[in-house]
Amino acid sequence: MKKVVILSGAGMSAESGISTFRDAGGLWDQYPVEQVATPEGWIRDPQLVTRFYNERRKQLLEVKPNRGHELVAALEKEFDVTVVTQNIDNLHERAGSSHVIHLHGELTKVCSSRDPQNPHYIKKLKPKEYEVKIGDKAGDGSQLRPFIVWFGEAVPEIETAIRYVEQADIFIIIGTSLNVYPAAGLLHYVPAEADVYLIDPKPVDTHSRRPVHVIQKGASEGMEELLKIIS
């Protein structure tokens, strides 16, 4: 069975109504990145950061996976599929994808603010627990913080992602600007003989000389077209 690795970014979830950070009118316009997505922002105002991610979680209850997510999940009928996502939502899982690597953490999880990557203190929240409060403690007694990889923090899952990318027969990039590292560097680990496809309505600089099949469409339409090519 051929191995397919998909790298998905904000454009994958935009069709479901999840605001992207980078586009005009996106979340960064309302909240400077330094306030809500850095360790320094957390130290400065944990209440603001907690509220910001509570709002993001509530949004998850209002959105659904789109056709693009569903078609990615459907690839598992024909291929051995690994999804590597820069997104912190759970839409790939809800659409039925069974192997998802979250590079930037997961919105539905919280962790220790003293030792964020310690698996003993990472907790998956049920929807009724999405409202985290100041005073809610992890198992080590520290304040619970979002299980998110913030700017300036290491990306522990990148090594896992690289291992899968190095074995890919087909590599598919969906809805990412390829401007955020280390995720953008994954293309360099794709085997020379693998086919590479890029689905995005906007032009994307791959920072690479290798041939890339570009499908200049949104996630759902792009996946429809891609399936005709590879199935």
Per-residue pLDDT tens for 160-177?
999 999 999 999 999 998
The pLDDT assigned to 195 comes to 97
User: What residue type is 225 in one-letter code?
Assistant: E
Q: Which residue has the tokens 């907790």?
A: 123
DSSP letters, 59-120, are HHTT----HHHHHHHHGGGTSEEEEEES--SSHHHHHT-S-EEETTEEEEEEEESSSTT-GG
| Phi-psi category of residue 96: left, alpha or beta, with phi > 0 → left and psi -120 to 50 → alpha | left
Strand partners, 148: 105
When computed from its CA atoms, the radius of gyration of the chain, rounded to whole angstroms, is 18
pTM of the model: 0.93
How does residue 25 score in pLDDT terms, banded at 50, 70 and 90? Answer: low
Catalytic residue among 99, 102, 104, 188: 104
Token pair belonging to 227? 């399936």
DSSP letters, 16-28, are TTPPPSSSTTSHH
Which contiguous run of DSSP H or E holds residue 55? helix 46-60
How does residue 231 score in pLDDT terms, banded at 50, 70 and 90? Answer: confident
The share of the chain scoring above pLDDT 90, in percent, equals: 81
Whether the Cβ atoms of residue 201 and residue 177 lie closer than 8 Å to each other: no
Domains of the chain (ranges, CATH numbers):
1-18+65-104+155-231 (3.40.50.1220), 19-62+108-148 (3.30.1600.10)
pLDDT, one tens digit per residue, over 71-100 is 999 999 999 999 999 999 999 999 999 999
Q: How many CA atoms lie within 13 A of 22 on its CB side?
A: 10
Q: Is-catalytic flag, 104?
A: yes
The pLDDT assigned to 177 comes to 84
Average pLDDT for 204-214: 89
